[in-house]
A and B are shown apart, each in its own frame.
Chain A
């Protein structure tokens, strides 16, 4: 099924396992070009893993991940690095280079992939830092930033080259309410102004529903629901309702698979 006219990422029959535990089973996902697509789901369902599979940092056991005609898992090392120049990724931890200042971190992709003069690099870096509200922090080192600030710098670095595809891994985590609002607007505005495609992995339902054009809900290694935010709100499925409304009881277990609690507590007493 291809619900979109223009797809930038087409994932078909994706299966992936880690340490023998299946993460994805025959998953099909299409990311529409120029839109904001959200990947949502409970913790441990492989949302970040999906971003790493799209970025070619992990290889699937089965299936294809095609970006503009190129099957990412089949690419050679050189082609993979070339296609990554068209991607930007905001890591959950920020992953800033600790030996470089904020300014140098944002300038890094420009320095390695372009021959722009220093004055132009400076203008672009200041523009990107201004967009995330951290122009004044350009001379700070990553160790001097809070977690939320580090992620905003990482966002500025991820969009430094104006990539075709930006992947955001938990962009709203650790942000104060003001920064959160600015970030939500920024992601929306960047998407509209630059026309790039965004994939957001997030737990923050309200913020994500507010900006996403399309949502995939993943649980138990499968896509359990997909649609626009409005369509997802109307889905009559216990799994979807439990996640969207944040209910502790439902088909999606809060606990990681384990033996019965009472049995485990009594085991020692019995022995």
Chain B
């Protein structure tokens, strides 16, 4: 009976947290735009969240593209179809790997940093201080970070795709000697802008929304102690990763499922 009560309490706690996260999101989404004050804050956050994530995204994209090229070649060469490596690399990246891996890397680098930063601001009473100065922290702190993450992730995913394709070409064409013309022609022929590129970008938009929402909420709602911030940061990475993988399946089923 006691365990049942604990289970119920836990479920109610999770439900309440979900409600609070919805309220925060609502405040961010319906806030009246104030371009004069918001734009500099947004640009600053785009730099921290997006530009500073570029290195990990570019390096990961390059290596994943190279690995795809190598693996694709070793399998396809047995069937004499190594010209299809370009097509395989591009479709894997654009449809799946770019949005998913970018979102996972983004959650680990930028998401955790956002949670820790906001949590620390809460622990050091900077958020309370803003409130008492008459400035809404949801608009001043949370909103620019949320929108920066939302805008940056699709761009980072696109960069990941481009660099990945280049990595695939580097291995396939320059190293393994696949004929360049057929590598690029097969890729151009098989990758559809609407079905593949836009669907992949749409996934990145959804992941950007969810990962940044989780990150800013966990920071804003954390227990303001060092242990609380550490737990919130961990929760951001774990919940974001699970959400990305689960949503990827749902979105893939909706976009490409034949039913």
Contact = CB atoms under 8 A, between A and B. Distances in A.
A54 B128 CA distance: 13
Interface stretch (A78-86, A123-131, A185-193): A78-86
A95 B134 contact: no
Interface of B: 37, 124-126, 128-129, 131-136
B8 to A, nearest CB: 18
B125 A93 contact: yes
A187 B133 CA distance: 19
A169 B62 CA distance: 54
Contact of A81 (B37, B125, B129, B135): B135
B131 A85 contact: no
24 contacts: A55-B131, A55-B132, A57-B128, A57-B131, A77-B136, A81-B131, A81-B134, A81-B136, A82-B134, A84-B132, A84-B133, A85-B133, A87-B134, A88-B132, A89-B129, A91-B125, A91-B128, A93-B124, A93-B125, A109-B133, A112-B37, A112-B134, A113-B133, A113-B134
Is the contact region of chain B dominated by helix, strand, or loop, or is it mixed? helix
Interface centre among B126, B134, B136 (most CB of A within 10 A): B134
Contacts of A154: 129
A112 B132 contact: no
Interface in A81-113: 81-82, 84-85, 87-89, 91-93, 95-98, 108-109, 112-113
Contacts of A98: 124, 126
A52 B125 CA distance: 12
Contacts of B135: 81, 112
Chain A to chain B: the 9 pairs with minimum beta-carbon distance, closest first: A95-B129, A95-B125, A85-B134, A84-B134, A89-B132, A109-B133, A91-B125, A81-B134, A93-B125
Nearest to B135: A112
A215 B109 CA distance: 51
Contacts of B129: 89, 91, 95-97, 154
Interface string A67-83: 00000000001000110
Nearest to A52: B128
Nearest to A83: B134
A9 B207 CA distance: 48
Interface residues of A, number: 24
Interface of A: 52, 55, 57, 77, 81-82, 84-85, 87-89, 91-93, 95-98, 108-109, 112-113, 154, 157
A118 to B, nearest CB: 15
Given A96-B126, A113-B133, 6 more contacts: A57-B131, A81-B136, A85-B133, A98-B124, A112-B37, A157-B133
Contacts of A84: 131-134
A96 B126 CA distance: 6
B128 A95 contact: yes
A61 B7 CA distance: 27
A178 to B, nearest CB: 26
A87 B136 contact: no
Contact of B132 (A82, A87, A113): A87
Contacts of B131: 55, 57, 81, 84
B126 A97 contact: yes
Contacts of A157: 133
A154 B131 CA distance: 14
A57 B132 CA distance: 8
Contacts of B124: 93, 95, 98
A82 to B, nearest CB: 7
A89 B131 CA distance: 10
B46 to A, nearest CB: 16
Interface centre among B124, B131, B132, B136 (most CB of A within 10 A): B132
Interface centre among B37, B124, B133 (most CB of A within 10 A): B133
Nearest to A78: B136
A88 B134 CA distance: 9
Given A55-B131, A84-B131, A95 B126 contact: yes
A183 to B, nearest CB: 19
Contacts of A87: 132, 134
Given A93-B124, A98-B124, A112 B133 contact: yes
A57 B130 CA distance: 11
Contacts of B133: 84-85, 108-109, 112-113, 157
B132 to A, nearest CB: 4
Interface centre among B124, B126, B129, B135 (most CB of A within 10 A): B129
A112 B141 CA distance: 14
Contacts of B134: 81-82, 84-85, 87, 109, 112-113
A85 B133 CA distance: 6
